[in-house]
Structure 1
Amino acid sequence: MKILVVDDEPDVRVLFEQRFRREIRSGEFAFSFAYSGEEALGFLRAHPSEVVLILSDINMPGMSGLELLRHVKSDPLPPPPPLVMMLTAYGDAATKQQAEQLGADDFLTKPVDFTALRDKLHAIENR
């Protein structure tokens, strides 16, 4: 399963590669990384229909994760539209409600519980 992680923090890549080392090595999960909403949209256009899930931070400079979500769910990206899981350090109800209204498929707070995330990824993969 191809997963695009969108976060402006550069250490996120190392963290995901460490936490999912076994799944990456077995080919179960393949991660790509974008460091802004704009970069994520460019990646999605350049790799149509490859990404199954987007894990996006909400608070980023430039295009926020919510703006990225709006584009992914409304722009004519190649089908099928990917699932979008939002990540944020702020678990406030208003942000969560806005993300859900824009079409977010799931919502996680930081710091990420990687055991719970792994379970969610396996559930998506086994649909």
Structure 2
Amino acid sequence: MPGQAVSGPSARDPGLQPERTSLAWQRTVVSVALASVVLALGQLRAGVPVVAVAAAALAALAVAPGVLRPRRGRGLVEQRGDAGTAPRTAAAATAPREVWPLLVRTTGTVAALGLLGAVATLAHVVRA
């Protein structure tokens, strides 16, 4: 199209995609924490305190690393370089943050919540 600059692979602008991805994982962690609290309260009412304590611990485990970690930047990409200097390439402009710990922790908490839900269901069936 006229008036648009042609951009090559080196001029890739990640836009807001890393930010959206980071926010999606954060929403997943919050959902796990809330579901764990609901499971804990339900198990307290049902008289299964062991599962209730495990669910409360899972809620704390899900939320604590996100609250306690230092804020280095927003999203999954950190900007590199000074504000006054322009980077030479797009690859030098941004560097992906280490996301594996977040993904592993989130996947583990989701799996643990599923396991606790199955244990709670089984405990309810056995008691009935």
More contact order relative to length (CA 8 Å, sep ≥ 6): 2
Larger Rg over CA atoms? 2
Instruction: Compare the two structures and name the one with the higher helix fraction.
Output: 2
Do they superpose with TM above 0.5?
Answer: no
Instruction: Compare the two structures and name the one with the higher strand fraction.
Output: 1
TM-score range, shorter chain: under 0.3
Q: TM-score, normalised by structure 1?
A: 0.24
Q: TM-score, normalised by structure 2?
A: 0.24
